Amino acid sequence: AQTVTQSQPEMSVQEAETVTLSCTYDTSENNYYLFWYKQPPSRQMILVIRQEAYKQQNATENRFSVNFQKAAKSFSLKISDSQLGDTAMYFCAFMKLNSGNTPLVFGKGTRLSVIA
């Protein structure tokens, strides 16, 4: 079974600064996807960024980027130029690739507060 660990229950960052959220996972699978989801107070789950395990290049989406270390099973999220709207719960998630669709396995989340 796969497990996802987020070791930082809460973090805070000053507006315009950079923050990194940690995520490690455990799996015996070789083909999988990793995701970061954002859940603001509205509770809507919003996909922030996706990484395919077979790709060595780290994914980036505007101010969001990941540091994917497959051998270390580490998948951290870096948020640059933090904005007040980035305040939310952030969940790291794992999905193994299969012939069919497989559900997401989530970490316990990191609550990020961006301070003005």
Partner 1 sequence: DTAVSQTPKYLVTQMGNDKSIKCEQNLGHDTMYWYKQDSKKFLKIMFSYNNKELIINETVPNRFSPKSPDKAHLNLHINSLELGDSAVYFCASSHGGTYHEQYFGPGTRLTVT
The residues binding partner 1 (CB under 8 A) are: 33, 39, 42-45, 47, 50, 89, 91, 95, 97, 100-106, 108-109
Burial of 28-44, coded b for 16+ CB within 10 Å and e otherwise, reads eeeebbbbbbbeeeeee
Shortest reach from residue 64's CB to partner 1, in Å: 15
> Nearest Cα to 70, choosing from 54, 50, 89?
54
Shortest reach from residue 22's CB to partner 1, in Å: 17
Closer to partner 1 at the Cβ: 85 or 103? 103
- For the record, the structure tokens of 31 come out as 């083909």
What is the C-alpha separation between 33 and 97, in angstroms, rounded? 7
> Nearest Cα to 79, choosing from 89, 70, 93, 66?
66
Closer to partner 1 at the Cβ: 16 or 47? 47
Closer to partner 1 at the Cβ: 14 or 98? 98
What is the C-alpha separation between 94 and 16, in angstroms, rounded? 29
Shortest reach from residue 30's CB to partner 1, in Å: 16
Shortest reach from residue 101's CB to partner 1, in Å: 4
Closer to partner 1 at the Cβ: 50 or 78? 50
